[in-house]
Structure 1
Amino acid sequence: MRFLANVLWFLLGGLMMALSWWFAGILAFLSIVGIPWARSCFVIGQFALFPFGKEAINRKDLNQRDDLGTGLLGSIGNVVWFVFAGVWIALGHLGSALLCFATIIGIPFGIQHLKLAGLALAPVGKTVVTNDIAEAARVMGRARAMAGVRGRF
């Protein structure tokens, strides 16, 4: 089912949104100062090609530790990204989502566009993984949180 959904997604607009991510990546790369964002654009562009069965999660949740993109510098990077590119790509995904929601068959595709629109607003510090890995990271994070709560009492 996931394969069929990804094929339909690709044919009905996924390619166009992936191209928009890659175009933003090329512009970021050409600006020299945008090189850190360019790599993210290409990774998320691949995610935008075939989003079913994958999701973007915070790298801190996955690795259980902070890194350069999940701290203060990552937040600053997300603000810069939002101003220069994020809002425009998010609007593209939002417009595509609204078109998809016009039909019952398009609802799952609209949900994927909304997921990508949220990612477009703040992609720094995120990584794309399969749904299974994302769920395992969430379970592990909850277990660590519970261990921390138990350690306080």
Structure 2
Amino acid sequence: MNFIGNIIWLLFGGIIAAIVWFLAGLILCVTIIGIPFGLQCFKIAIFVLWPFGREIELGNFGAGGLIFNIIWLIVFGWELAITHLVIGAVFCITIIGIPFGLQHFKFAQLGLLPFGARIH
């Protein structure tokens, strides 16, 4: 079931979302200060490409991760989380869209605190 969900995900926008996250990572990596944030965008792009059957474990970050998560949350995170929450809510309106909405809720979690998050 996860394989079929991932294929449908790719066909109906997953590949575009992954490309957008990848391009955001490239833009952030232009400056030295933005490299850690760009690397997180690459991690999210890989997760967005194939999300079904994978889970997020938040936490496990040290003092540096805490500082980067705070900066991320202020600059990027809250907008990304709200966007994914709204898209997830729209998908959850229909029964067929619920699995895709749940994936967007996972992206919202990762969009808030990407540093120290593990994707299994």
Q: TM-score, normalised by structure 2?
A: 0.89
Letter in 1 for 2:113: A
Question: Larger Cα Rg: Structure 1 or Structure 2?
Answer: 1
Task: Give the Cα separation in 1 of the matches to 2:86 and 2:21.
Answer: 15
Task: Give the Cα separation in 2 of the matches to 1:85 and 1:102.
Answer: 27
**Equivalent in the alignment of 1:125:** 116
**Equivalent in the alignment of 1:103:** 94
DSSP-derived class of the 2:29 partner: helix
Q: CA deviation at 1:24?
A: 2.3
RMSD across aligned positions (CA): 1.6
Counterparts of 1:2-151 in structure 2, within 5 Å, are 2-58=2-58, 60=60, 70-129=61-120
Tell me, which stretches of 5 or more residues in structure 1 are unaligned?
61-69, 130-153
**Equivalent in the alignment of 1:65:** none
Identity of aligned residues (%): 41
Given that 2:87 and 2:101 are in contact with CA atoms closer than 8 Å, whether structure 1 keeps it comes out as: yes
Letter in 1 for 2:63: L
Letter in 2 for 1:107: I
Tell me, which stretches of 5 or more residues in structure 2 are unaligned?
none
Any runs of at least 4 consecutive aligned residues in structure 1 with deviations exceeding 6 A, and if so which? Answer: none
Task: Give the Cα separation in 1 of the matches to 2:20 and 2:112.
Answer: 14
Q: CA deviation at 1:59?
A: 6.8
Aligned length: 120
Task: Give the Cα separation in 2 of the matches to 1:54 and 1:27.
Answer: 27
Q: TM-score, normalised by structure 1?
A: 0.71
Task: Give the Cα separation in 1 of the matches to 2:55 and 2:110.
Answer: 10
